Amino acid sequence: MSRTGKGNLKARYGTWALVTGASSGIGREFARELAAAGLNVVLVARRRTELETLTAELKARHGVDCVVHALDLGNGDSVGFLEAATADVDIGLVVAAAGYGTSGAFLDADVPDELRMIEVNCRAVTELTHVFARRFAARGRGGIVLMSSLVAFQGVPRAATYAATKGFIQVFAEGIRRELKPHGVDVIASAPGPIQSGFGERANMSMGMSQGPEVVAKATLAALGRRGTVRPGWLGKLLEASLAPLPRWGRTRIMQQVMAGMTPTTGKKATDSVRR
């Protein structure tokens, strides 16, 4: 276990955390892990019913407090609302797990949907991070978890825009980590491989062999404060090890073959994915 680790999260970051994308998949597992560590949680996602169900679970199991905000981070005023709504809550840890994925040929893509994905995956994450990074720097401690991906490290045909948004997150996390470290703020990019999170079905992808989302939450929180990037689970590590020796163009070619087997060759379904 790292110097932060699950057992030390409360001592390191304080009594409150905020999780976006908390209604399902990876975000929900982060909320469960944080509550198990004794942190109260602000839960953010579009679906209020799922958030209220999770709230009841976390209170019953761990006795923590929960605050629910049913928001679509694709809306430009959502982060501003969160900033105001949490002004009196001493949040010390933010997990930006909300995401939006598409797949299929770029020529068949629904351009408004692609642009909305950039809004959610890049613009909203940048704005949210800025709000809380300033708050954490002022208090002298804090933690920020950003969701990268195995696809962030090369171009990925048939998921070109989605991979580009994750590439943005990876580089963004690497940069701000160095800036925020002197202020006592830890930043980590979590870059999992295939995960059973509902993402595949919603993005019209056949995920095949994958691992549960709890693997991502556990490994990421264990590495927070110790590493800048974590690749959770044996499957993600195996895939990364197989790609790492290749030049970037070689990784892109391999990912083209992988995506060809995971996405339909016709049609243009690129849907709601995990805007949780």
SS3 category, 227: coil
Is residue 263 within 8 A of residue 205, CB to CB? The reply is yes
> Is residue 166 flagged as an active site residue?
yes
DSSP summary character for residue 159:
S
Q: Which of 6, 10, 100, 162 is catalytic?
A: 162
At 151 the three-state DSSP class reads helix
Residue closest to 224 by CA, chosen among 68, 87, 92:
92
Query: Given 6, 10, 13, 166, which residue is catalytic?
Result: 166
Report which residue type is found at 275: R
252-258: long-range contacts, CB 8 A cutoff, minimum separation 24: 252/154, 252/155, 252/156, 252/157, 255/151, 255/154, 255/155, 255/156, 255/157, 255/163, 256/156, 256/157, 256/158
Is residue 162 part of the annotated active site? The answer reads: yes
For residues 255 and 154, the answer to whether their CB atoms sit within 8 Å is yes
Distance, CA of 20 to CA of 227 (rounded, Å): 22
Sheet holding 66-70, edge to edge: 66-70, 40-45, 16-20, 91-96, 142-147, 185-190, 229-230
Largest CA-CA distance found in the chain, in angstroms, rounded: 52
Spatial separation of the C-alpha atoms in residues 163 and 6, rounded to whole Å: 30
The helix/strand/coil state of 262 is helix
Active site residues: 162, 166
